[in-house]
Amino acid sequence: MELEIEQLRYGEQYWQDELGEKQLLELDRIRTSRLAKLTTELNAMLGELGEPGEAMALTPIFAAERAGPNLAFLSPSSRAGMEELIADQAQHGTVDATRLLADAAQILTASELIQYRQWNAPEQALRRNQLVGFGATEEEFKAIGQWPNFVNQGNAETGDDEQAELKLAAEIGVQRLAELIRLRDPEMQTAAHDLHRLGLPPAQAEWLAGVRSQGLGEIQQVWSDPVLPAATKEEQVRQLQQAYRTRIAATFALSATSRDETDLMP
């Protein structure tokens, strides 16, 4: 049951974004509800059989922050084998993605193992997360994985990063490389991930980053004004925050009762 829910977190293709936090929390809600129902049914069944002991309590294996693997592409026999591996790991603690990947080599066919790595290898999940808002194609996703400075968040200990960057530009184009470098800007990254987290279009990250920067700059000017009394500063800052939150809410058609605009404009 949990694995069926976990399949919903993934995009249609391995290089596409996974669901954002808000959507994953909704999956958690569904998971909790179904586990509670199953727990009730199992305990009722045990009671009818007259089994002694305390009531059973089923706990989740996966969660919003603890992803289960994508198995949707596997054959029935391969999937059954992977489910056994997962159940065994869960009984002995937690499901470890790296260990599961190593064990999968003993169960999956060669082509399935390639697909499994594309979907579930930790470095693939990390790159999907790093590229939120970029809208990479499969070719771009693969090419970017060969650029150490991006994969290591600018901390690559290599002397030939310039050559790697030139090679990437040749493969994905100068314009797309410029967009990728722009995405690494902290303000852009934060905006893209905040939008994705709330299930909003990450493609609007540049707009959001610009509006945030403008708003925070105006707020900072108010706080640093040596003439204004503290109470006046607080009121002006409150008004500025509300004005920018309203602007953001209107842009993303957020509900009047939603607090998402508060998350998007601190």
Q: What DSSP line would sit under 44-113, residue for residue?
A: HHHHHHT--SSPP----S-BTTBPPPP-TTS-HHHHHHHHHHHHHHHHTS---HHHHHHHHTTTS-HHHH
Amino acid code (one letter) for 239 = Q
What are the structure tokens assigned to 206, written together?
A: 């540049």
Top-confidence range, 55-59, 65-69, 160-164, 235-239 = 235-239
Top-confidence residue, 59 or 169: 169
Lowest mean pLDDT among 79-83, 176-180, 212-216, 244-248: 244-248
Lowest mean pLDDT among 117-126, 153-162, 164-173: 153-162
Top-confidence residue, 93 or 191: 191
> Residue-wise over 117-126: b if at least 16 C-beta within 10 A, else e?
bbbbbeebbe
What are the structure tokens assigned to 5, written together?
A: 């829910």
* Section 3-12 average pLDDT: 91
Q: Where are the domains of the chain?
A: 2-123, 131-183, 201-264
pTM above 0.75, yes or no: yes
* Section 134-163 average pLDDT: 76
